[in-house]
Structure 1
Amino acid sequence: MSDTPTCAGVAPHLTISTTHRGLDSRTTSSWTLGNGSTLMHLRYHALAVSNARHRNTDPRHRLLSMAVLAPGHWTLTGTTTPPQQKDRPALVILDQSDPFDFRDHGSGSATILHTTYPRLTLSPETVHRGLHKLTADLPLYPLMLNHLQQLGVIATTAGNVLPDLSASTMSLMRSLLLSAADSSPTTDPTATLVLTITSYIDEHLYAPELSADSIATAHNISPRQLYKIWPDTHGSLSGYIINRRLEQARSTLLTHPSLSIAAIAHQHGFAQPTHFTHRFRRTYGVSPSQWRRQRLPQHASTAS
């Protein structure tokens, strides 16, 4: 969504106009995530964006847009939209080849991720089922919403690192669509439980007591059962928790350049800064302070 419908990530058949002639305004910033994905931040007044009819676009080239919309009085028809809460942002996902109509007569803003079907490695049928069954009740919904908001913050402070976060962003979006597509009475209960557990881990990620025992207790299962259902694709349970903490800490290194390495370590669940530095170096090849200096030279930090 930009001043011209031919910019990266926006299909040329979209109609972009104003709801109040002469009163519209749009300011757009965009950043490349790589492999056909683009992140955009949009501020607008009196905006209308629509696609009047279904387009038979090759699935390899179909564009998907996932947006966090600021609270307001906007409307979106033609696609399933979780009920709006006027005081909270909302997450929406749409296929730009499907009919839809977005309108906001006032002022608003959005952080938008544009990507293609191949990046999600899901069938068109699964993607569409997920789009039409997306609800705010899904465990991954708030996680995806917060992640996209955080990408917008990182883009304005250290846009050059966005490609480093592309894979985790696509993985989270893929998981959200899969969980939405499978949200029915016939859903595999084990898969549902794993999604609930991963959401629980993210909600309690920095709690010192987070462990297999506490996770199992919270979900009324034994640790042995937890290890049995934990997917091999996620790696070990302890490794998954540490990697999620490292991912979040890596973002905080950029968004809070004044925080010391020790403070960030403690904030993200690492009791010892030396353990944090060791795991960070083993995962990313450099120390936290080196990684920060490489990407924020203007904020060269002496924190240790």
Structure 2
Amino acid sequence: MLTQAVIRTDDVPPRDRFAFWQECMTRTMAPMEMSAPRPGEFRARKRLLYLDDITLWPTDPGSSRYRRTPRLIRRSDPGLLHMTLVLPGSGTIRVDHAGHRSVNEPYDLYFLDTSRPYDVCSDDERRLVGVGVEIPRSRLGAVGDGALTGVLGRRISGRRGFGGLLTRFLTQLSEESDTYRSSDAPRLNGVLLDLVTGPISHELDSQAALPPQTRDRHLVLAVRSFVGRHFRDPGLTARTVAAAHHVSPRQLHRLFQPEGVTVAGLIHHQRLEQARRFLADPALAAAPVHTIATRSGFTAPAHFSRSFRTAYGTSPTDYRRSALRHTTALPGPGPDAG
């Protein structure tokens, strides 16, 4: 299991809870002036996940305000880039930082630099539900302090593009942290760092300033996500994927060589897996095999049958018969679902 700790204000007497939370936030981020509408009733919970020098912390404190002042910065500066992903159930969060003001709602992201003053507060008295991330600013490499000014305090979408990839990763890691071992922390650290620099570089249009290896990993993630959304389109090919990402087919092939799979192979695999799931679904038992193939992205039934047999060692019909023999008919999605 990943190294982690759980912090709850319920573990201390009510009169000490807000001061306890302030001390916890100081240790996690940096010293801040904090206030709450009703500090005597304040409650909060935070889970700290340690990924080497990056800390990820799902949290849900009550309505509160956090101010990092020049005086506090002079007293102590850990040199961190902080990121918050706002999650459903949270009230809106107002951010005033680095000359930018934003109002953030569920599935928004925003960044703070602990070396600069900021003012973050809830816009109502609802809880602040989200995931915080603390990254040493030195880990950002070529994305320097000057470039960061353009993104600090801004509202960034966590629903699409690199922001969407980051949201899915943080959500999955937060919810399933117990499925990872402590030895996975360095790998998760690298993945998270790459995903965080993605929306930053996109917002700043500074891809040229990033190391080539990081740019390549970003593009691999983007291509995989694109294929996952569009593989059922029979017109999807490696060439159309390359065009959608503004690279040549040769560049795309070079990019995926370390992955051990071609883009055409990735598309083909996604289509086969979709067809296999449909064939095993009792709700689709009456759908002809050729319909399953078509709606999974295949254009030729004979080619689909040969490919399926090569991949799974049996024909689509025999696979369906075997799969349905061991299941009970339950309602499920139609071939157009997903």
Say yes or no: TM over 0.5: yes
Residues 41-92 of structure 1: per-residue CA shift (max 9 Å, x gap): 2121122212123846999x4111111112423322225466545xx33222
> C-alpha distance in 2, partners of 1:129/1:208?
36
* Residue 108 (1) aligns with residue 128 (2): yes
1:131 is matched with 152
Worse overlay, 74-83 or 210-219: 210-219
> C-alpha distance in 2, partners of 1:237/1:216?
19
> C-alpha distance in 1, partners of 2:102/2:113?
16
Structure 1 residue 19 displacement after superposition: 2.7
1:165 is matched with 188
> C-alpha distance in 2, partners of 1:132/1:49?
14
Q: Which of 113, 117, 122 is the aligned partner of 1:99? A: 117
Q: Matched residue of 1:108: which SS?
A: coil
Q: What TM-score do the two structures reach when normalised by structure 1?
A: 0.61
Structure 2, unmatched stretches of 5+, are 1-6, 8-20, 267-307, 314-338
1:117 is matched with 137
Give the direction of change, closer, same or farther, for the CA distance of 1:24–1:125 in structure 2 (3 Å limit).
same
> C-alpha distance in 2, partners of 1:165/1:23?
37
Worse overlay, 18-27 or 217-226: 217-226
- Report sequence identity in percent: 13
Is the Cα contact below 8 Å between 2:96 and 2:102 reproduced in 1?
Answer: no
Structure 1 residue 32 displacement after superposition: 0.9
* Residue 145 (1) aligns with residue 167 (2): yes
1:285 is matched with none
> C-alpha distance in 2, partners of 1:69/1:75?
11
Give the direction of change, closer, same or farther, for the CA distance of 1:207–1:182 in structure 2 (3 Å limit).
closer
* Residue 199 (1) aligns with residue 222 (2): yes
Worse overlay, 199-208 or 217-226: 217-226
Q: What TM-score do the two structures reach when normalised by structure 2?
A: 0.55
Structure 1 residue 216 displacement after superposition: 3.1
Q: Matched residue of 1:114: which SS?
A: strand
* Residue 44 (1) aligns with residue 66 (2): no
User: Equivalences for 1:64-79 in 2 at 5 Å?
Assistant: 64-70=81-87, 71-78=90-97
Q: Matched residue of 1:201: which SS?
A: helix
Give the direction of change, closer, same or farther, for the CA distance of 1:224–1:8 in structure 2 (3 Å limit).
closer
Structure 1 residue 113 displacement after superposition: 1.1
Q: Matched residue of 2:46: which SS?
A: strand
Residues 172-226 of structure 1: per-residue CA shift (max 9 Å, x gap): 1122222222179x99xxx999967853531433766699962532564799823
> C-alpha distance in 1, partners of 2:137/2:201?
13
> C-alpha distance in 1, partners of 2:232/2:258?
14
Is the Cα contact below 8 Å between 1:216 and 1:223 reproduced in 2?
Answer: no
1:155 is matched with 177
Give the direction of change, closer, same or farther, for the CA distance of 1:145–1:231 in structure 2 (3 Å limit).
farther
Equivalenced residues, count: 240
Structure 1 residue 33 displacement after superposition: 0.4
Q: Matched residue of 1:25: which SS?
A: coil
Q: Matched residue of 1:147: which SS?
A: helix
Residues 4-41 of structure 1: per-residue CA shift (max 9 Å, x gap): 15665411x2223323231211112112100x211112
Is the Cα contact below 8 Å between 2:194 and 2:218 reproduced in 1?
Answer: no
Give the direction of change, closer, same or farther, for the CA distance of 1:194–1:68 in structure 2 (3 Å limit).
closer
Structure 1, unmatched stretches of 5+, are 246-270, 275-304
Larger radius of gyration: 2
Is the Cα contact below 8 Å between 1:32 and 1:38 reproduced in 2?
Answer: yes
1:298 is matched with none
- Amino acid corresponding to residue 93 of structure 2 in structure 1: W
Give the direction of change, closer, same or farther, for the CA distance of 1:92–1:159 in structure 2 (3 Å limit).
farther
Worse overlay, 93-102 or 48-57: 48-57
2:239 is matched with 216
Q: Matched residue of 1:205: which SS?
A: helix
Is the Cα contact below 8 Å between 2:33 and 2:66 reproduced in 1?
Answer: yes
* Residue 226 (1) aligns with residue 249 (2): yes
1:63 is matched with 80
> C-alpha distance in 1, partners of 2:94/2:206?
25
Give the direction of change, closer, same or farther, for the CA distance of 1:43–1:101 in structure 2 (3 Å limit).
same
Give the direction of change, closer, same or farther, for the CA distance of 1:217–1:44 in structure 2 (3 Å limit).
same
* Residue 10 (1) aligns with residue 54 (2): no
Is the Cα contact below 8 Å between 2:36 and 2:63 reproduced in 1?
Answer: yes
Give the direction of change, closer, same or farther, for the CA distance of 1:47–1:200 in structure 2 (3 Å limit).
same
